[in-house]
């Protein structure tokens, strides 16, 4: 297909300021929602796994709100709902439903950011004419979001799960404040995350391990003379630490880049974001499970303790520091790499949705700001650079990056092939009970899938 080049330039937005929103009739409403969502993530300093979960709650609520209205008007065509089979109000505004669903999720999760969210979403809603269709859409979107928030309220994301540092040779002897995400209930219907368990890392005494350690010891060192200027820029470009959209936010930035270059219906665009969000959150949970399983040390500790690994091909450097920063090596076990797994997942979903891996685009991210633009000719090229950047940053081994990308790709393929699928007209789904019945003064009702 025709290769588009589209530049997504980060907006400079004060944390206390509202985003100026264009008319949804003239601009992509989901693009505007995406900007508000990611800015709220920056405002609140949300951590990487929580960004993925929040994104899933936002975009699956938005998807069901939009898609439900489509199904009410065209019940034998379109796509499956995610968590509801909806008899929706046929005269509801899809734009206002989407906005209201996103607002309901974000204000429920981030009440400390309500001033920003109120102003931004109200600005967006004010661009839609005040009609009964708008009001019905708002009520509908809020109700759908409330149902999903209730269904996910005890999914394990808020449980206490303190990490005990592993002081053995090869273990991660650091702090890990989000370990509970290893036990979060997956979002994809029918997924078994044991299918996405990574192969074991190489033995410390192996040649493969020595290759990986020697590579990152050279390329990922704070003042490396072997790392190129381009590799240094890429390492910082993809870093996405606190105060940014985080590594899991990158999935939505690139999805939005792609969506804005295409001619998609609102339903199609909602499905795209829904699929990306499912791959992103379940890649996160799978990664956290792999990290907990293998509990592997980071390059900084590995290099500083290379005299204890039993490998004659490694060399100790007791003062080695990563390009990430002095004393900084990453806040979770090394194996597997979150960034690489996320990238494998979102790139696979986007490649499948596009029908082609080739897609020319320019990208900016928060860490280096809008002045730094990196260009890619395909989704996989961007994903590979995202993974490799962790070696250049000094936080991961290349064997970890390779395995993590593979896990993410497999998971992304599962999501695209099994979730939010086209409706088969001859197939009528069965339901064992009506779990919830919400009335909107004649607008419709909601049935929860059992």
Domains of the chain, with CATH numbers? Answer: 7-448 (1.10.606.20)
Q: How far is Cα of residue 307 from the mean position of the Cα atoms in its chain?
A: 38
C-alpha 275/C-alpha 350 separation (Å) is 9
pLDDT at 426: 53
The residue behind tokens 């086209």 is 422
pLDDT at 86: 65
The residue behind tokens 């009739």 is 25
C-alpha 308/C-alpha 305 separation (Å) is 6
The residue behind tokens 């299918």 is 195
Walk along the chain (450 residues) and give the pLDDT tens digit of each residue: 333 333 333 333 334 445 544 334 434 899 999 999 999 999 999 999 999 999 999 999 999 999 999 999 998 889 999 997 667 999 999 999 999 999 999 999 999 999 999 999 999 999 999 999 999 999 999 999 999 999 999 999 999 999 999 999 999 999 999 999 999 999 999 999 999 999 999 999 999 999 999 999 999 999 999 999 999 999 999 999 999 999 999 999 999 999 999 999 999 999 999 999 999 999 999 999 999 999 999 999 999 999 999 999 999 999 999 999 999 999 999 999 999 999 999 999 999 999 999 999 999 999 999 999 999 999 999 999 999 999 999 999 999 999 999 999 999 999 999 999 999 875 434 433 333 333 344 344 444 343
CB 250 within 8 A of CB 35: no
- What does pTM read for this prediction? 0.90
pLDDT at 18: 53
- Label the pairing between strands 84-87 and 445-448: antiparallel
**C-alpha count within 13 angstroms, C-beta hemisphere, residue 195:** 13
Least Cα distance to 43 among 30, 56, 27, 54 occurs for 54
């Amino acid at each position: 297909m025709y290769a588009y080049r589209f530049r997504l330039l980060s907006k400079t937005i004060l944390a206390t300021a509202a985003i100026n929103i264009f008319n949804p009739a003239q601009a992509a409403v989901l693009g505007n929602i995406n900007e508000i969502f990611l800015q709220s993530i920056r405002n609140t300093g949300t951590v990487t796994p929580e960004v993925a979960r929040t994104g899933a709650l936002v975009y699956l609520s938005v998807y069901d709100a939009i898609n439900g209205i489509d199904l009410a008007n065209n019940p034998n065509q379109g796509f499956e709902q995610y968590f509801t089979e909806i008899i929706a109000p046929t005269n509801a505004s899809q734009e206002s439903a989407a906005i209201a669903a996103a607002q309901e999720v974000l204000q429920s999760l981030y009440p400390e950011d309500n001033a920003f969210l109120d102003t931004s979403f109200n600005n967006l809603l004010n661009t839609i004419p005040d009609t009964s269709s708008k009001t019905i859409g708002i009520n509908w979107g809020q109700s759908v979001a409330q149902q999903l928030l209730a269904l996910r309220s005890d999914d394990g994301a808020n449980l206490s799960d303190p990490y005990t540092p592993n002081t053995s040779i090869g273990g991660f002897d650091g702090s890990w404040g989000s370990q509970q995400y290893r036990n979060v209930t997956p979002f994809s219907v029918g997924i078994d995350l044991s299918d996405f368990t990574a192969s074991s890392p190489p033995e410390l005494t192996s040649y493969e391990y020595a290759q990986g350690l020697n590579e990152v010891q050279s390329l990922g060192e704070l003042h490396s003379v072997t790392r190129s200027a381009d590799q240094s820029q890429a390492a910082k470009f993809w870093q996405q630490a606190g105060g940014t959209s985080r590594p899991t936010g990158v999935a939505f930035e690139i999805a939005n880049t792609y969506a804005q270059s295409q001619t998609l219906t609102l339903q199609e665009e909602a499905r795209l974001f829904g699929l990306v969000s499912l791959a992103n959150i379940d890649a996160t949970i799978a990664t956290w499970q792999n990290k907990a399983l293998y509990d592997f040390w980071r390059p900084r500790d590995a290099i500083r303790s290379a005299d204890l690994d039993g490998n004659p091909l490694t060399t100790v450097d007791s003062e080695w520091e990563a390009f990430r920063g002095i004393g900084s090596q990453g806040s979770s076990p090394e194996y597997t790499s979150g960034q690489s797994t996320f990238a494998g997942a979102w790139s696979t979903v986007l490649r499948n949705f596009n029908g082609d891996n080739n897609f020319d685009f320019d990208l900016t991210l928060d860490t280096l700001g809008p002045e730094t633009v990196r260009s890619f000719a395909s989704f996989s090229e961007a994903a590979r650079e995202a993974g490799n950047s962790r070696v250049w940053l000094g936080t991961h081994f290349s064997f970890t990056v390779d395995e993590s990308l593979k896990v993410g790709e497999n998971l992304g393929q599962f999501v695209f092939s099994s979730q939010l699928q086209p409706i088969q007209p001859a197939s009528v789904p069965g339901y064992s009970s009506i779990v919830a019945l919400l009335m909107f003064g004649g607008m419709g009702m909601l049935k929860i899938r059992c």
